[in-house]
Every structure is written in C-alpha cells, then in structure tokens.
Amino acid sequence: MSGKGRREWRFYLDDMIGFAEKVIAYTDGLDQVGFITRRLTYNAPVRNLELIGEPATHIPERVRGANPDLPWRLIIATRNRLIHGYLGIDNDTLWSIIQSDIPALLPKLRQLRQRVTGGELGSFLE
C-alpha cells in the first residue's frame, strides 16, 4: 500500500462483491411487483446497486482494461444514473439489472478476485 490512508484496490473489489451479494439476497424470492411495492425491499437493493459502482471507480484503469469481460463503464454509469436520476428510475430496468445483470456480474467479480488472490495478475498487484 502506498501512502498512508490509501486503500488497496483489491479491497474495492471485495466491496463490489459484497454489494452484489446483498442485492441478490435482498430480492431472493421476490417477483417484480413484490420488489416495487415494498419500500424496504426496493430501497435496500437500489442502494446496493449504487454502491457497486462507487468502488468500481477505484479499480485502476490498467486492471479494468485487462479485464474487459467486466462491464466497468456500465457499472459506473448505472451508479451515476441511480444517484443523480432518482426521479427517473425505470422499475423494469432496475428489475432487469437485479435479475440478469447482477447474477451475471457476481461470478466475474469473484473470478477476478480469485485471480488476484492467486497472484495471476502479476504487476497489477503492485
């Protein structure tokens, strides 16, 4: 770790995994109507969708570029849209992200984490 108070980028990857896991857990067993009509089961996953994008901005560009199978720009753009466009959030789009995109993203994040842990990324770990 270089510089006091700076966090290693690997920890941000762990954060992304944790937030994605929460989105899945909070919506497990729900259909779209149940998701939309229950404020807590709506707000908690949406907040965690926002949170997935924030640590993505802290993953170094060289790591993002070396892992193009992860939709880095889309993850960050989704976060920005949720944060800044709260009155215009489309529930069908949210539900699609929760049901399709997050379950597809999570194994890719875990695979990257495994590669980091196993030292396969070499110079990216410095």
- Cβ partners under 8 Å of residue 119, min gap 6: 125
∠ CA 83-76-67, nearest 5°, is 165
Structural tokens at position 57: 């901005």
10 in catalytic set: no
81 in catalytic set: no
Given the residues 84, 110, 113, 115, the one annotated as active site: 84
CB pairs under 8 A, 24+ apart, for 75-79?
A: 75/16, 75/105, 77/53, 78/49, 78/52, 78/53, 79/49, 79/50, 79/51, 79/52, 79/53, 79/54
Given the residues 38, 79, 110, 115, the one annotated as active site: 79
Positions annotated as catalytic residues are 79, 84
